Amino acid sequence: MLSSLAFSPAAMADRVLEVGHDSGAFASVQAAVDAATAGGEAATIRIAAGTWRGVVDVPSDAPALRFIGAGATQTRIVHDHYASRIDPRSGQPFGTYGSATMFVRADDFHAERLTIANDAGPVGQAVALVVDGTRASFRDVHLLGHQDTLYLRKAGTLVWFRDCRVEGTVDYIFGAATALFERCALHSVGDGYITAPSTPPEQAYGFVFRDCTLTAAPGVAGVYLGRPWRPHGAAYFVGCRFDGPVLAEGWHDWGKPGNRQTARFAEFGNSGRGSALDGRVSWRLDDSAPPDAVTLMQDWKPFE
């Protein structure tokens, strides 16, 4: 059982650090994170409206931190690294992981009312957010990119998104974590795959989408709900509305027929023009009960 399941953003300490343009405020988000980490106490970092350009790294030894923006369309954390760009520090490409605009390596992180974006454009893998820590929660956060927007990297970690927006093209939600998306908007800005889970076989759940809405930009011809990055990748869509052009097959095997025997993909009670199950691949799960939030998140309740 994971520790600290009682953690809640509402219970954060009173220490508040301001990122803004006024005298006495930190001039960058990273400077505030560094100060909070050095202080060693849980803290809220309030980030003023504006575009805050640069990589933000919440290190593994950071205390429980809470990022609060001025609004998802007003406070924007943005950078433009991508996988094939050369990192001047090493002389080597950044790679997919290293391309992220923001890294959350610490446990017990919360963010709300802001945007995290990678604006490198359609240049291959270019991550907006990497989550390595466990018990990371996000509310009213926009995650914007193209390929590989959101990397939920580590198996055994828990991540919860509520009332968020995720945009991308290929594999724009990917990784091995257990993640719950509630009332989120998933917006495809190009043809591709919404999810690419790499769930390990011993982990009960990968990505679960509840009451979400799937849309697409004009000109998008079709998208798959997902494909297994690793053989046992798992993704469920429950009570969602498919307003985007979801392809009739729904799911893709990544060109590896063996994945059809191991991937765990399922749909329950969805609606909208892309939700018809006629034509879906025969190897999707159709006889499993959708997980409830309590079971999925192991009694962790970050939004109370």
Q: Which residues are catalytic?
A: 171
Q: Which of 254, 169, 241 is nearest to 211 (CA)?
A: 241
Taking the mean position of all CA atoms in its chain, how far away is CA 26? 27
